[in-house]
Structure 1
């Protein structure tokens, strides 16, 4: 009986050892399983969280090579400011296909010219092209804002654009020598050239008869007159004191004058293409004692003026003579169209 009990204990001990070993083995398998599962989950999460890297297309470029970046002061016919000379360079990582150049005038865009595979001189498989703009300003561009836009296209259909050659375009100044006359005392003779007018680009003297017969009063911007207080002067029709000169006027324009200290030599430095300089000269000067008069006229004096419709000019008193009760005043005039 004792032997049986002892054997049973031994069997239980053996069995317990087997069970323990089996449990340890099972636990190890479970730990390994969970470790593999954890690593799998981590790898999965890491793979899911990483961003997808997409290759971006390298686009064409357009760059200004020569020519100013700002606004160009263009003057029609000018030897220095009469042509828009610009160069731009197109570069395409893909093979170059075409460059299109459009012209924009006062906001309206139209096709100017193109260069592509059908153009003489095209180099097959090229990846760059230099475009040269040589645009001569003409009367059709007068008093407008003009610019150009280039569009480059590669074989993959990628594009780039560049705006360039922006310009304000003016007509040249009108230049004329004129002879004005006035009596002392002022009479208001019908055929005496007291007045200066400008209309449709024509600068000339006018008489009382012309005002009466042709109604040119609205185009007259300056009057030559004389009185003992002011002396010999040029004024706006609106300011002329000798009303006997204005009996036929229905419209009396306003013109403003500023004396310039440049003299004859300074006046001679200007030419018909100095349109923008004419504006700068007027803006920089001060008004006389009376804004609408150029008084104390004498040989060599120079006056800037601004007409009622915005035209700026210069009057140069070339010579003043008094003969047989009349003043003869020779003037040179430059004025914007």
Structure 2
């Protein structure tokens, strides 16, 4: 783990990285030696006013921490779902956080509210940048975020790839099941309806606050219903991995999001499905996608770190 920012920050300077999610927003203050404070709260998805209130409250909370007394907050980086125009500071089609409109001027609005310069990045792009830094990964990485939705972040030849419109990596909205479930994006059968954390919770509601852990345990103790749900979900996640592997042939494919709380059993199930898919295909066996998959450790604040790094 490399969180030394002494070459990027002044001795009393700090910057905040914020990860806005569909259910929770997390903010982390970083000083020259790494993290100096963490705060989180439920995301208010009542449009731009709700997101601004959520972020402003977290910034105020971090400023009040004793560890932050000797630091001046010089910038805020925000990772947020949707199509982000970094130069304009706008977000479009953030349907999971109540920002379904186009070109919402979020950076300027939050900057006025906090009195600090604000930059925006797509949340999964931020997570990919942070995870690559945290894990010391190569310059050729794709990250799949299994959260409320499903999307991928990309670093190709050392450069984050966001695309012409900022929508690179939105694999969750590639149709997976013909004429399947309706998606808020307007299509049907989108991959995130079957491979996201929200999809798992919907398919296994009896799991409570930790559905992935509960489902994995039940499946591994012989519960036939749990095994069926897990197999369907893992198949969809493996499809996402295969999609990225065959399209980009990246060196590493990282798996992040709340689902990673399951740890090694999740990685074992996913690698097993990838190997089974390759049993009758020499081409897929040669690709060796199962050996390229890696989990981002649960509890690592990679999205907030990446958001912070985008401010430099």
TM-score by length of 1: 0.24
Higher relative helix content: 2
Structure with greater Cα Rg: 1
Report 1 or 2 for greater relative contact order, CA contacts < 8 Å, sequence distance ≥ 6: 2
Which of the pair is proportionally richer in strand? 1
TM-score by length of 2: 0.25
